[in-house]
Structures are given as C-alpha cells and as structure tokens.
Structure 1
C-alpha cells in the first residue's frame, strides 16, 4: 500500500511517499493528522531533523531574524539546564521589550549546541542558535546578557530555510537540545493512501529529476500551484518493497518531494 504525507509549510510543500504493510489501517479519504514532537527533543534522527525544518518553514518568513548567541567566560553555563535557563530568560526579556513597543506576537525556536558537559562528548564551547519572529534587531542584540550576539535576517532559498534549520539541527544532538515558544504552529500532514498509483511512483523512483511530470501529478488537484524544487529517493530496506512483498528484501524505497509556491 502506497502512503502519502503532504506537509504545507507556508510557501513550501513537502510530500513523502512510502510503502506500508497492507495490514496497516487504510486512509480511504485524505485527512489531516497530528504528529507528535520527536521524543526527548533531540535531533539525532532524520525524522526529527525534517520535523524541525518543517516547523521553521511553517512559522518564520522573510524579515524574521536568526540569532547566534555566544558566552563570555563569566557567564559560561556549567550544564545544559543552565543554558536552557539562559535561553528562556533571554526570550522573556525580548518579549517584554517588544510588548512595550506594541508587538505581542513574538515567537521563537532555539537549538543549544553540543558542548562540554552534555551527553554528546563534544569538546566545543556552548552557544545558542535561535530564530525569532516579531522582534526588532536592536532588541535581540541588546537583550542577550551573557556574551556576544550576532543577528541576521533569514535568507530563503528554493527550499525555504531548510538549509539553515538543518545546520541548526546538526548542532544539537543531546537530549532536550531544542524547543520553542508555545504559539508555534505544528506541521501536520495530510495523509492519503490514494494519491499516487504504483506506476506513477515507480516512474518517480526511476526518474526523480522529472520535475515536469511530478509537478503535473501534484498540481492537478491543488488550488495553490507549486513549482518543483527537488526529489530525493532513499533506499534503506526498511519499507515494504514496491517491487516485492518482503520488507527485508532490500527493495524498499521512500520518496521526498519538495516544492515552493509559484
């Protein structure tokens, strides 16, 4: 059975296609489902990193800021709990200042880098990566009180800020290394078992660069039209094979299609 998960992330869309056992419950109609946040909030797995990138693309846009916050010797945290406290206090100061300026919609997501004293064995010095929505640059730079703070406007590519998000994700592999404000929208997929036929998926697997064919398939039932960016075919042997019924035969595939609004 071929299953599709479609994620609408602001101006970007990601579509996952994979095979599941016919014993799984079938989705007769396309429906939105809730996905849980990756366990322990670490970014070790591919699933966690993709969730994080979708979260960032869904919640942030041009004009928002990325923040790289470093520590001086006097404020260097002894452990992850202290670093987490610093992030929360920083965000609270930013929100308080922006509220005085009449802006109440400040949202953020952060990653605490791997560093000495955590469970990753890293020897690096602790630093923090944060993305802020709804905050002014001068406030972001002034309200970090533990060292040096550098801010830049987010730069968007064909895949949004996926590159920035994945860079941040690679910096944080420990437990509880990332989090965000409570107002963030969560990426929720629309799941269907009837979107693509077996023949269509086989053609995508055999020619993942055929953007014209893939765009035509995806846009035919969409009110919003999307432009093909890229298609990644992965072969890890865990999925039930498209060309065999044996999940362990090494013929399993999964597909990730990425697109942007016209």
Structure 2
C-alpha cells in the first residue's frame, strides 16, 4: 500500500488559478492507464494546457466538464439565457443552414454592440435537434451588454434591402439569469448538456476565459484515499479540502468508477467560499422579501432553494 501513488487532477474555471471561483478535483490511484476527464497537452515551455475537446460532442464527460467550467468562468447573474426557434416559413433544412443563420444573428448583435461602444461580445450557443418533432433550434448564453428587446428583435430578417422593416424568423426568448442557489450556473450547464436526439455541439466567441488544469502526485496517503473513496468519509473530505484547497467549500462530492482501470475515484465540485457566501446572502434576502409579501397577503410560503443543493427555477 505504501507504493501506491494517489494523484490529484484539478480543473479550474480560469487559467489564472487565483481568480478561479470554481474547481473540479479528481482524486485517484495513479496507474499507466489514466482516465483524464479532459485531453491534456503540453506547451513549448513544458506547462500543461487544457484543450477544447476536438469534437465538442455533448454526450461525454470530457465535453460536459469543459463546457461547465467554460460557462462558470465567463457568465453569471444578469447575463441572458436565450431560446431561439424557427417558424415554418424559415425552418432550416439542415444544421448547416441553421449555423449560417446563427452567424448572421451574431453579426447583427456585434453591430449593435459596436454602436454602443462595446468591442467584444461574449457568448456560447448550442444547436439542437428536438427529440419529438425533429425541429432545429438553438440555446445561447449571452453577455448582458444589449437591451433585451434589441436582443430578441434581431432574431429577424430584413424584408427588403436598404429598408428598416424586418420580419421575425421565429421565436426568441431572452431571460436574465438569476441566483437561485449557491451554484446556480450548474442548472444551465446541465440543461444545455442534456442528452440530445442527435449531435449537439457548442460554439463560443473569442476572448472567453478558458479553463485550465494541474496535477499533483502523492497528494494523500493510501489509507486516507481509501476512507474517502470507499466509505465516503465527509470528515476526511473536508480535511483534504481545507489542506489543499483553502478558501473553498464542497458543493458536491461523488464517487465514480473508472471504466478503464476498474478502480474508484473521488470527484469534488468546489466553489470559492466568498462567492458561496455572496450567493447565499442574495438568496436569503430574496426569500425574506417573499416571506414578508406572503405574510401580508396570507399566502402559504414555499421556499425556492435549499442550502445543500440547487433548487428552484432556472431564472
């Protein structure tokens, strides 16, 4: 047991580790066949680099983890979550046509942003084929730098050249992201990366804060790892985080089986304590107002979130 190497692989939502508010930590017994959740490459100076999964297919763990960290590192409360659909008249015949339409839409958004002195537009969007009717539609997370009516109104097509009249090509609903729990962004991440009927890919703007990763060997003893992985000892998990990730709190701790090695590994989802306190304060203040309003109207009060889990509506 003394010769077993316990490795820690940490994934950060920001390449500047000190500015990273979110972390994923995998703890496992290291062997020659290592199940890295995301492909790792080396730069010229020997540093490790976290690269975008080549296919960007949303039905595997590699893409899901990278996509989750990408959203958390770039978007938050007040940004827009968009659902974009097509009317029968403008329904694209293929995903290629839909992608071409999204490029036009993003071009119009950038043009409006430029008029307001905004140089960069941050976004991530997904093209999806519906399970039931097979209709192509999009979901987008967009930086809040434009008025909501402008964002929705640009999902349209110019009727005649050099004329301002435009016709909506479908339905566009932009909603502001609200804090509904400590880790509110994971609700959006899980919704966007749910199992699709076919392929489901994401596209992202340039200039986004990209995730990164580090590794550390002999991070703990084999006995401590056994207690964390086999018995789910919360005391040992908290002790581990306090030592190696000071200033962070555990949002979720799971035990998973490595399909390649057949061994258990522990995955921790961490959130910076200062951000956790801030989101909790927002939620508690909002709940207090709702409780007061309910008491005034004699309406039964139902809480919308839980402290130890993400609960409530998406917005």
TM-score, normalized by length of structure 1? 0.81
Deviation at 1:16, TM superposition (A): 1.5
Q: For the pair shown, which has the larger CA radius of gyration, 1 or 2?
A: 2
The separation in 2 between residues aligned to 1:112 and 1:163, in whole angstroms, is 18
Displacement of 1:46 in angstroms is 1.7
SS in structure 1 at match of 2:89: helix
Give 1:247's aligned residue. Answer: none
TM-aligned CA distance change 1:13 to 1:23, over 3 Å: closer
The unaligned stretches of length 5 or more in structure 1 are 25-30, 116-120, 240-249
SS in 2 for 1:78: coil
Partner of 2:283: none
CA distance in 1, matches of 2:102, 2:187: 23
- Residues 24-173 of structure 1: pairs in structure 2 closer than 5 A: 33-115=48-130, 123-136=133-146, 137-145=148-156, 146-156=169-179, 157-170=181-194, 172=196
Q: 2:58–2:200: 8 Å Cα contact kept in structure 1?
A: no
- More relative contact order, 1 or 2 (CA 8 Å, 6+ apart): 1
Shift of 1:200: 2.2
What are the superposed Cα offsets for residues 140-190 of structure 1, whole Å, 9 maximum, x if unpaired? 211112211111122343334122112111265755721111212221112
**RMSD between superposed Cα atoms in Å:** 2.4
Using the alignment, how far apart are the partners of 2:132 and 2:53 within structure 1? Answer: 22
Matched, 1:201 2:225: yes
Aligned residues between the structures: 238
